């Protein structure tokens, strides 16, 4: 999973220089390896004005730029909620096929981070903080990765490039109500009860 960066173009000429911006990105992986992403951010007045003129008032541009910032993924179901009073927004979207099963049958998800300082929050929830160098340290991103509840034997490995990778085991999701199986059991029980009744009657 590549790191998502919400593109914001801040042109500050003020005395206090460029503000460091915080982004919170929560990624919830489901039982088939797709991810639901929730990104939220609060800005100061000047940043909010610029962000609104670029994206806030034109969500399709935001969608397009995010799709372009993650070219290797298929993204869907974008939903933007703005809180104008508090100068913040929340963007929700789905990313398909974020996790996959490798040749050894292990589920893997790549953090794309070298020496990621991962903090375990709960059994299935991890957090790390990143400050992408391409933004000159101006954006600090807090990532929270929530693995599926069925994930077992979660380990954090390193790939060939030294990047942190989550590995875990997970069974296939239940195939749900199996009509043939339950019909068979029902017919078997009906047949059994009927024949039992006949036997005891005689």
Partner 1 sequence: MMKKIALPIALILLGLILTGLSFVNYNTGSPDDIDISIEKSAFIMPAAHRVYSNPEALDGKYYLFKAKITNNSSETLQDVRVKYRIPNYIDWTELTVSGEMFPGQTLVVPCYPKFDDNVTEKTTESVEKTEIEISWNGAEDDDIIEEDFSFRFTNRNEYVYTGIKSEEISSWADMYDNDALIACFVTPNDPVVKYYTQNLQEKLLKGEAASVSRKTEDAARFLSGIYEATRRSHMVYSGTKGIPKSTDDVQSIVQQVRLPREVITGNTGLCIELSVLYASVLSAAGIDPVIFMVPGHAYPGFRMNGQYYAIEATGIGGEGLGNIMSAEEAFKQGQKQLQEFFQRAQAGDPRYTLVDIHQVNAQGVTSMDLKDNDFMREKVDDIVASWSTEQQARPNNGGNNTIIVPENRIRTSNSLSFAIPNGWQTMMNPMPQMPIMTAQVVAPDQATTVSVYDIPVSNLQQGMNSINQYFSNFGLQMQYQINGNTVSGQTYSSNGNFNWIGKALKTQNGIRIVAVGAPDHLYSKNSSIINQIYNSIR
Question: Which parts of this chain interact with partner 1 (CB under 8 A)?
Answer: 2, 10-13, 15-20, 31-34, 44, 61, 64, 68-74, 96-98, 100-106, 136-138, 172-173, 175, 178, 180-181, 183-192, 194-195, 198-199, 202
- CB of residue 8 to partner 1, shortest distance in Å: 13
Closer CB to partner 1, 149 or 189, in the complex? 189
- CB of residue 36 to partner 1, shortest distance in Å: 13
Query: Rounded to an integer, what distance in angstroms lies between the CA atom of residue 168 and that of residue 154?
Result: 4
The rounded radius of gyration (Å) of the Cα atoms in the chain is 24
Closer CB to partner 1, 61 or 149, in the complex? 61
Closer CB to partner 1, 81 or 102, in the complex? 102
Q: Which residues contact 172 (CB under 8 A, 6 or more apart)?
A: none
Closer CB to partner 1, 15 or 85, in the complex? 15
CA atoms within 13 A on the CB side of 102: 12
Closest to 131 measured CA to CA, from 23, 30, 55: 23
- CB of residue 120 to partner 1, shortest distance in Å: 26
- CB of residue 11 to partner 1, shortest distance in Å: 5
Query: Rounded to an integer, what distance in angstroms lies between the CA atom of residue 183 and that of residue 143?
Result: 47
Q: Are 94 and 35 in contact (CB under 8 A)?
A: yes
């Amino acid at each position: 999973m590549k790191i998502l960066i919400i593109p914001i173009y801040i042109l500050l000429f003020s005395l206090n220089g460029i503000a460091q911006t915080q982004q919170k990105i929560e990624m919830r992986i489901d039982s088939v390896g797709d991810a639901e992403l929730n990104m939220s951010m609060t800005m100061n007045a000047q940043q909010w004005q610029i962000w609104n003129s670029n994206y806030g008032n034109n969500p399709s541009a935001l969608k397009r730029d995010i799709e372009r910032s993650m070219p290797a993924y298929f993204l869907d179901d974008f939903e933007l909620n703005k809180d104008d009073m508090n100068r913040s927004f929340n963007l929700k979207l789905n990313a398909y096929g974020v996790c996959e099963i490798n040749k050894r049958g292990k589920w893997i998800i790549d953090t794309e981070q070298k020496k990621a300082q991962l903090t375990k929050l709960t059994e299935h929830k991890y957090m790390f903080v990143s400050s992408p160098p391409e933004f000159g340290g101006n954006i600090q991103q807090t990532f929270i990765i929530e693995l599926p509840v069925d994930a077992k034997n979660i380990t954090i490995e390193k790939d060939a490039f030294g990047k942190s990778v989550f590995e875990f085991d997970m069974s296939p999701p239940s195939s749900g109500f199996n009509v043939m199986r339950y019909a068979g059991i029902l017919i078997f029980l009906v047949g059994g009860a009927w024949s039992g009744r006949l036997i005891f009657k005689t």
